[in-house]
Structure 1
Amino acid sequence: MSNEAVQVLVVGGGQAGLAMSEHLRACGLSHVVLERGRIAERWRSARWDSLVANGPAWHDRFPGLEFGDVDPDGFATKEQVADYFVAYASKFDAPVRCGVEVLSVRRNDGRPGFTAQTSDGTIEARYVVAATGAFQQPSIPPLVPAGAPVQQLHSSAYKNPEQLPDGAVLVVGAGSSGVQIADELLRAGRRVFLSVGPHERPPRSYRGRDFCWWLGVLNQWDMETPAAGAEHVTIAVSGARGGHTVDFRDLAARGMDLVGFMTSYADGVISFAPDLAENINNGDASYLSLLDEADAYISRMGADLPQEPEARALGPLPAAAVDPLRELDLAAAGVTSIVWATGFTSDWSWLQVDAFDAAGRPRHRRGVSSEPGVYFLGLPWQSRRGSTFIWGVWHDAKHLAGHIETQRSYLMYDNNSRTSTKVEVSA
């Protein structure tokens, strides 16, 4: 067990922690990055086998390094993404320590800084950056009891169709994870029920440009706040099989059973809200809205991009949306497993400082916490819509490193001298 002091302690060795480390090094700030698993561990062990990135390689990367083994317009596999982060850490010799868990962080009593208790000893730090993001603990709604005669697992524990028992599968959640898992199961010959809730449904590409490009030129990545009521709306988009637009009409036509938002469970029967048509229509509206904005941009800029009128040909609603299924008897339908693609919650129990509101959410402005010396990185909408994306977290990390550097310069000032001398503890 060791005891040491650094200027900055970064907790988390994923994309957020590595981005933070790069900018701290550029500012000349001594620091250490602690990761309880491997670098980018969640990409390797908390994703299904066939997962690929949902953005093209030219977009979903840090500015200082391209993917060497992926076509720029291609979609990196989960292993390629993890390997990319390992290569990035090596590129600037990031001080990452793997296999070290942070057990607690507390503010020091009567002196500056914080003390972190870890599985490898104690670390004193003047500043702490929580770079674990907000997607930490799998979230499963308390609807189906553990003793129900059906296997249940979260999407983070799903690996492949062979992992599940024979029989039909209910996938709950129609964001990117839920749709891709449901599609994979359908292609494997399973009967699949997909519970579709509120979502956004962008085109994979339009008029020769990926939707990531469109969100960029339309300044939507830089939106600072979500639209009212859209804070937790999921995005249904896929990079699988070369990338494609998610189309619930196509999934229904291929045999997938679409149902509405799941509401309850009793005696082996699951109930759904009669909102499938509404959810699909709202998703269509978000899709068409982006096409409208893209067309207006092309007209305004005089851009030479090909016409794509077929993109607006949506077709009628699936029959399941017109006459929605309200109840599903699991045994009668042969459903033997449920995959919950219902997102994640946060776990800040290790960060024992006054930086959270009554609901347990971080109090911060662009990642600068209400607790002086504590910073958050990788939060949804931390500074903009793109904050949880690879490139977005890189820019947020740059802002935080600059803030830490500025704060440290104040603490270096000596009021009794015309020159600045150090007046704080070395940590």
Structure 2
Amino acid sequence: MSNHPNPTTADSAAGRHYSVIVAGGGQAGLSVSYYLKQAGIDHLVVEKNTVTHTWREQRWDAFCLVTPNWQCALPGWPYRGDDPHGFMKKDEIIDYLDGFIAMVDAPVLEHTAVTRVKRGADGVYTVATTAGQFTADHVVVASGGYHTPIVPRLAERLPASIVQMQSSEYRSADTLPEGAVLVVGSGQSGAQIAEDLHLAGRKVVLAVGEAPRCARFYRGRDVVDWLADMGYYDMPVEQHPLREGVRDNTNHYVTGRDGGRDIDLRRFAAEGMELYGRLDDLRDGALQFAPNLIDNLKAADDTYNRINAGIDAYIEKNGLSAPPPSRYEPVWQPAGERTTLDVAASGIGSVIWCIGFRPDFSWIDAPVFNGRGYPEHARGVTPVEGLYFIGLPWLHTWGSGRFSGIARDADYVVARIRNALQARVAATETAGV
């Protein structure tokens, strides 16, 4: 039995037919349920763990939002606190989500995994789960795109004495054994975890990837506020210069910690963090790194300055009053490229893999996936009638996989479902005349 409102038991749901089954009970799935309830459409949300469990179980202790609180705009549940330009910490995020869960009061079947989705010749979907089989006219896949943690085979060759974990398993510096910590990857999670360890006084070795970075504040405001005014967050994917290619981009690293600030890996290096390029191999007891640290740091800084230059242009074009512009200049430079690190001599006691996740939609039997395993869709609507996706990065806009844009996407998908159901009723009535 769920601890959340409106629980559904396997016994009460088993074998039933629904107009819509939603696979996934995170903020995306619950947002779909919100609009389905408004439309009076019967449905079931199926969640393999508990609703919004990722926020509770796969975030480190000091985790906080990297976008300001005002962007928390789940449907019917905008941010209600007194710090719209602050950054909610983990416990505050959970409180926010708990309020949303209670408000939506979705029909949820928890601790139930969807194992197979297939559309029959009659257009009805069979949805097999660990709690039995259901049928539905429409299926909305709201399980996100981050399913299988990426850990390279190289991990198998590290000494057994080294503790290894994926970023979703990290909680705090205190939970790691003594010794230096190797963090592999410098995207949002990697950069923030490296910062968390660094602030805790741990020796950190960071394998720096190609992730870009951005400023937290620029010319008197949060960069997110500027970009919102510039319309960036309303830009649909088909208008982005990269088109669908933007979905493959790594998120910019920045932090909301302690009121928000830049993450400057160069400054960390000046304070003792060891930076290397991309981790490539392990040979004869030594880690092998690509000689691309200098290029990776420069590329991240170039993106930082390019975003700020765009803000400068916007301010000038609109005649706005703001503090003067500035340009980031490196506070530290590598003396050269270091490409090897002896594992034993380095004192590394733990490794945190922060190189992302792979999607796993193998349970969906439908011809909608490309060669990389991602679904082909237009704003979440696939070429297969009755099958939809939601909550994926850049499904429609930048905010599609975030609190800020999920409402718009869920409303759109549910409107398509409602129209399809109404058309079916009208066709049935016409045929019966």
Fold match (TM-score > 0.5): yes
Kindly state the Cα deviation for residue 69 of structure 1 after the two structures are TM-superposed: 4.8
Correspondence 1:265 to 2:276: no
Change (3 A) 1:206 1:223: farther
SS of equivalent to 1:294: helix
Q: Provide the identity percentage.
A: 35
**CA, structure 1 residues 223+307, in 2 after alignment: closer, same or farther (shift >3 Å)?**
farther
CA displacement at 1:374 relative to structure 2 = 0.8
Choose from 314, 320, 326 the match for 2:329: 314
CA separation in 2, counterparts of 1:292 and 1:322?
Answer: 29
Q: Which residue of 2 aligns with 1:375?
A: 388
Range moving further from structure 2, 10-19 or 87-96: 87-96
Residue 364 of structure 1 aligns to a residue in which SS? coil
Residue 50 of structure 1 is matched in structure 2 by 62
- The one of 402, 419, 426 aligned to 1:413: 426
Higher helix share goes to which structure? 2
Q: CA offsets per residue over residues 39-83 of structure 1, 9 Å max, x none?
A: 210011111111111111111332532334562121112232233
Residues 330, 336 of structure 1: 8 Å contact kept:
no
Amino acid corresponding to residue 395 of structure 1 in structure 2? R
How far apart in 1 are the matches of 2:251 and 2:340?
Answer: 24
1:138 matched residue in structure 2: 149
Distance 1:347 1:61 in 2: 28
Aligned to 2:130: 119
Q: How does 1:176-191 map to 2 (within 5 A)?
A: 176-191=188-203
Instruction: State the Cα distance separating 1:294 from its structure 2 match.
Output: 0.8
Structure 1 residues 70 and 137, CA gap change in structure 2 (3 angstroms): farther
Q: How far off is 1:130 after superposition?
A: 0.5
165, 176, 184: which is aligned to 1:164?
A: 176
Q: Deviation per CA, 1:346-376, whole angstroms, max 9, x where unpaired?
A: 1112222332234422121211112211111
1:26 Cα deviation (Å)?
Answer: 2.4
The separation in 2 between residues aligned to 1:421 and 1:202, in whole angstroms, is 61
Deviation at 1:114, TM superposition (A): 0.9
The question of 1:198 aligning with 2:214 is answered no
* Shift, 1:100, TM fit: 2.3
**Distance of aligned partners of 1:352 and 1:415 in 2 relative to their CA distance in 1, 3 Å threshold:** closer
Q: Which residue of 1 aligns with 2:8?
A: none
TM-superposed CA distance for 1:392, in Å, is 1.5
The answer as to 2:264 corresponding to 1:247 is yes
State the secondary structure of the residue aligned to 2:191. helix
**Cα 1:189–1:415, aligned 2, differ >3 Å: closer, same or farther?**
closer
The answer to which of 133-142 and 405-414 deviates more is 405-414
**Structure 2 partner of 1:425:** none
Partner Cα distance (1:269, 1:147) in 2? 10
Residue 415 (structure 1) shift: 7.6
Q: State the partner residue of 2:291.
A: 274
Q: Is the 8 A contact 1:8 1:129 kept in 2?
A: yes
The alpha carbon displacement at 1:245 in A equals 0.8
In structure 1, C-alpha distance between the alignment counterparts of 2:427 and 2:167, rounded to whole Å: 54
TM-score by length of 2: 0.90
Is 1:291 matched up with 2:308?
A: yes
Q: Within 1, Cα distance between the matches of 2:75 and 2:86? A: 17
SS of 2:15 mapped into structure 1: strand
> What is the CA–CA distance in structure 2 between the aligned matches of 1:120 and 1:145, rounded to whole Å?
35
Give the SS at the match of 1:407: helix
**Structure 1 length as normaliser, TM-score?**
0.91
Aligned length: 415
Aligned-partner SS, 2:71:
coil
